[in-house]
Amino acid sequence: MAQAQPQAQQHYTPEHMPDLVVVGAGLFGLTVAQQAAERAGAHVLVIDVRDHIGGNAYSYMDEETGAEIHRYGAHLFHTSNRRVWDYVNRFTSFTGYVHRVYATHDGEVYPLPINLGTINQFFHAHYTPAEAKALVEEQAGELAGTDPQNLNDKGVQLIGRPLYEAFIKNYTGKQWQTDPSQLPADIIKRLPVRFNYDNRYFKDTWEGLPTDGYTAWMERMAADPRIEVRLGVDFFDSSQPWNKAALVGKVPVVYTGPVDRYFDYELGDLKWRTVDFKEVRYDEGDHFGCPVMNYSDADVPYTRAIEFKNFNPERADRQNPDRTVVWQEYSRFAERGDEPYYPVNTEADRKLYAAYEAKAAAEPQVVFGGRLGTYKYYDMHQVIDTALTAYDERVAPMLAR
């Protein structure tokens, strides 16, 4: 594993410009910066308005409990992409963590995703896989064999009404702050149901958490002396030198912020969902016995709760055995100034993004990337994969010129 090296960094000034400016020190931006420095020998300036690197994958240690807190919600690394797996292992090793989720419904805890264990527990039965599959098809009722266009009917068609209403309907309503009958079906077209007892949440080839934490991983990506990272720098603040007007057209730029913000919302606002967190601390070593507990019922206002200590059982000897910290997660529509998490992605949003995408393509020497820059929800491995591709196809040719 690569170790962070002391940085004899360049200190770029408007008179001594870097070869590349990256706006945003998240996974996309850091991947492009690392590739540009290593493969092209480029001098790279990375700026971020936040006070930390790592974007939404940033984490920090909670002194009281010894838990690694994921500031922007649970981040679990998993991939079946060999190129991505080989790349990330240059900067961190991974624990053997396997993600499993549980859900509380009507005072009882069930394993998710819905699998044969969930089905047999829910119906107090001992169905075989074939019997469970036949039951689900029967419980789809009049929606069996149809292709519903709203989420509510699609959920019933996929897993039958009892399971859908117990585990999906109210959770989804809280998550989207919208009645599921008003949501498009494609949100859950891949709703997993397993007719065996496999309750692994992800099915990827590789899975785990960074051994030394997310922030240490990101710091190693930025450790090349040709990379300078400046935090607390707002790309849209014209009072400081590293602003949009001073950079675009004069130096290659990789932009990973909101695409509508880049154009000052001139075509309208793209819609996002955001999440808020409420912290609860307990005088006990382990509150849930698992890292993530979903709450499927409408009378619990939050969607899930995260107990961070349980992501890292290998650190038990460094954790407080008498205290634990839990974050309850609440979902709502984002407003300007909120942290955007998930694109709402209605037909109107897709049309609006297409218009912004056309404008972005015309920007001189600017590459838009990441979730915010492309209005897509990506897992971490997908962000890295698209960043590696963007470097090869877009950034490297600009640097060569």
CA 389 to chain centre: 19
Tokens of 151: 């989420």
Mean pLDDT of the chain: 94
- Active-site residue (options: 64, 377, 392, 393): 377
What are the residues facing 61 on neighbouring strands?
68
What is the band of 191 on the pLDDT scale with cuts at 50, 70, 90?
Answer: low
Q: How many CB atoms lie within 10 A of CB 239?
A: 6
- Active-site residue (options: 329, 356, 375, 391): 329
Is the pLDDT at 7 greater than 90, yes or no?
Answer: no
- Active-site residue (options: 190, 299, 347, 401): 190
- Active-site residue (options: 273, 353, 385, 391): 273
Catalytic site residue 83? no
- Active-site residue (options: 19, 304, 353, 356): 304
The pLDDT tens digits of the residues spanning 276-312 come to 999 999 999 999 999 999 999 999 999 999 999 999 9
Following DSSP, what letter does each residue of 129-147 receive, concatenated? HHHHHHHHHHHTGGGTT--
Q: Model's pTM, two decimal places?
A: 0.92
Catalytic site residue 304? yes
Catalytic site residue 357? no
Amino acid at the residue 378: Y
The pLDDT tens digits of the residues spanning 56-72 come to 999 999 999 999 999 99
What is the DSSP-derived secondary structure letter of residue 45? Answer: E
**CA dihedral of 154, 203, 94, 48, whole degrees rounded to 10:** -30
Tokens of 47: 């700026």
Q: What is the pLDDT of residue 1?
A: 47
Nearest to 89 by CA among 97, 73, 77, 102: 77
- Active-site residue (options: 71, 194, 220, 371): 194
Tokens of 349: 């949003």
Secondary structure (3-state) at 111: strand
Catalytic site residue 350? no
CA 164 to chain centre: 25
Intra-chain end-to-end CA distance of the chain, in Å: 33
CA angle 94, 95, 101 (to 5 degrees): 115
Q: What is the pLDDT of residue 394?
A: 97
The pLDDT tens digits of the residues spanning 29-43 come to 999 999 999 999 999
What is the band of 160 on the pLDDT scale with cuts at 50, 70, 90?
Answer: very high
Classify residue 22 by burial, with Cβ atoms within 10 Å: 0-12, 13-18, 19+. buried
Is the pLDDT at 19 greater than 90, yes or no?
Answer: yes
CA 29 to chain centre: 15
| Cα–Cα distance for residue pair 213/62, rounded to 1 Å | 12
Q: What is the pLDDT of residue 401?
A: 81
| Cα–Cα distance for residue pair 212/320, rounded to 1 Å | 18
Q: How many CB atoms lie within 10 A of CB 70?
A: 22
Q: What is the pLDDT of residue 395?
A: 98
The pLDDT tens digits of the residues spanning 340-378 come to 998 988 889 999 999 999 999 999 999 999 999 999 999
Catalytic site residue 273? yes
